[in-house]
Amino acid sequence: MDRTIAVIDFGSQYSQLIVRRVRELGYYSRLYQPGELDQTGSPAAVILSGGPRSTSEKDAPDIDFEYLKAMGVPVLGVCYGMQLLNIKFGGAVCPGHTREYGPATLIPLSGGTLLQGLSERSQIWMSHSDTVSQLPEGAVVLGENLDSIPVALQWCEGFYGIQFHPEVTHSEEGMLVLKNFLSLAKDPPKFEIESFKDHLLESVREEVGERTVVCGVSGGVDSSVLAKLLFEAGVKVRYIFVDHGLLRKDEAQEVVKQFESVGIEIELVDVSEKFLARLEGVTDPEEKRRRIGDLFIDVFFDVAGDPDLLAQGTLYPDVIESATSGSIASRIKTHHNRVDRILEMKADGRVIEPLHELFKDEVRDLGRALGLPEAVVGRHPFPGPGLAVRCPGEITPDKLEIIREADAIFIGLLKSRDWYDHVWQAYAALIPVRTVGVKGDERSYEYAISLRAVVSTDAMTANWVHLPYELLAEASNRILNGVPGVNRVLYDISTKPPASIEWE
């Protein structure tokens, strides 16, 4: 994928979202830093993102304007990008004393392409502090807000700016604005998952050659799609699944069967007793994560040895953030010599990350194109530390058994009532406090279970799902009657933020 719609990142929290929206419109897009303009190749169009800085600040983000003009492609400045372009064309920007954040109204003034087809009054989403105070000669106001302040400009042919975020859903016709802008591009690069699949398969074959790849699998979407991609590429692979004893009910066996159903044989390594022993008496969340991460890396490489290549399910957001949340290395948050080994392998070109161009929803689409069953590609996210993050306090076999049984009941009901696919993530967590209850004719002092179901697009924010009372009542009744050690069931209606999706 050589040509792109290049998005220049000035630090906005929505920069990745612009890339996603462009791809949703069917065009290939990538994110670049301001200093990487000359690395964009021959983009079909350029979008300058918003950002938290002020153009008046010392060392504010900048761009090579002459190089940008010489590209000869359409350019759209969003918020900070618009303000920067206005200055470059000879206008001025006034630092604001208060930040404008939230909904506003766009009134299109021109019949030009950028705002073509928009309503007479269109809701938009603002997030900025500076404001355009003086327009350069020749600039045209394409749209303004209710206070007659310009929020859409054109400086010359091909150069546009908007003082709002078209990529967020709060801008109700934002996708139309982006679509209109991209219509100005000559031969924009198409993005279709079927053709991209063929591109990935060929890339894997070329990169791997005759070497052997070791691929860690967990049953999650990313590792499953990665495993199937390697399998379809026809390269030599060892698939290793480490059962750390923190999985859901019957999960290890189900994952093995799922892979067998598509012709993939995996090596199952059961080290659950070793992990539980390492976690005995530990209550601090970060310490639990550290111990799980350390031991996981040790076990994995004890089995894998010194592989020719290591495959990781790193996704595009991980690359952008210089993180590896989709990889084995991400399971550990502190320094460890085995992680150094992964970094050394990467430096030696012995780590392959075939999914690094894709977002999560695109990975699911790729899995479907590769023939993975919907039960795999539609699976809810599951954290690397497993049930450890759903068991606050000390982890014990008894507590894990309670969580597994309650979770199986809840997830089973969501599936049977056709709610599972409408939920981003759902689970049962144990509250480590014994509460008073009545069972039979006696008082009981047993644990409470918290059920959680959320919707999200990127896990950065999440809202709780308004499940039917009847479903929640049945889940509660089944758990209270079928799971020993529980006498109370709660439903978590916390949003993220301020709460997180998981408990720990």
Domain 193-377 sits in CATH at 3.40.50.620
Helix (H) or strand (E) holding 434: strand 425-439
* 161 DSSP β-pair partners: 77, 153
- Classify domain 5-182 at the CATH topology level: Rossmann fold (3.40.50)
The reply to whether 215 belongs to the active site is no
pLDDT the model gives residue 337: 43
The reply to whether 156 belongs to the active site is no
Distances (CA, A) of 495 to 171, 382, 423: 22, 19, 14
- Architecture per CATH, domain 396-491, reads as 2-Layer Sandwich (3.30)
Cite the residue boundaries of each domain of the chain with CATH code 3.40.50.880.
5-182
Cite the residue boundaries of each domain of the chain with CATH code 3.30.300.10.
396-491
Q: Of the residues 167, 251, 362, 446, which is catalytic?
A: 167
Q: Of the residues 128, 144, 165, 446, which is catalytic?
A: 165
Place of tokens 């002020």: 54
Cβ neighbours of residue 183 closer than 8 Å, sequence gap 6 or more: 113
Cite the residue boundaries of each domain of the chain with CATH code 3.40.50.620.
193-377
pLDDT the model gives residue 207: 94
Q: Of the residues 36, 57, 66, 79, which is catalytic?
A: 79
pLDDT the model gives residue 319: 64
- pTM, two decimal places: 0.77
Burial grade of 111 (CB within 10 A; 0-12, 13-18, 19 or more): exposed
Q: By the 8 A CB rule, do 177 and 162 touch?
A: yes
pLDDT the model gives residue 181: 97
pLDDT by residue, tens only, the chain of 504 residues: 568 999 999 988 788 889 989 999 999 998 899 989 888 888 999 999 988 888 888 888 999 999 999 999 999 999 999 999 999 999 988 876 555 677 889 999 977 899 999 999 999 988 766 788 889 998 999 999 988 888 999 999 999 999 999 998 889 999 999 999 999 999 999 988 988 899 899 999 999 999 999 999 988 899 999 999 999 999 999 999 999 999 999 999 999 998 998 899 999 999 999 999 999 999 999 999 999 988 998 899 999 998 999 998 877 666 655 432 333 433 333 333 456 777 788 888 899 999 988 888 889 999 999 999 998 999 998 988 999 999 999 999 999 999 999 999 999 999 999 999 999 999 999 999 998 888 766 788 899 999 999 998 767 678 999 999 999 999 999 999 999 999 999 999 999 888 989 998
pLDDT the model gives residue 333: 34
Distances (CA, A) of 232 to 110, 326, 364, 367: 52, 21, 16, 11
CA separation for the pair 78, 62 (Å, rounded): 14
The reply to whether 170 belongs to the active site is no
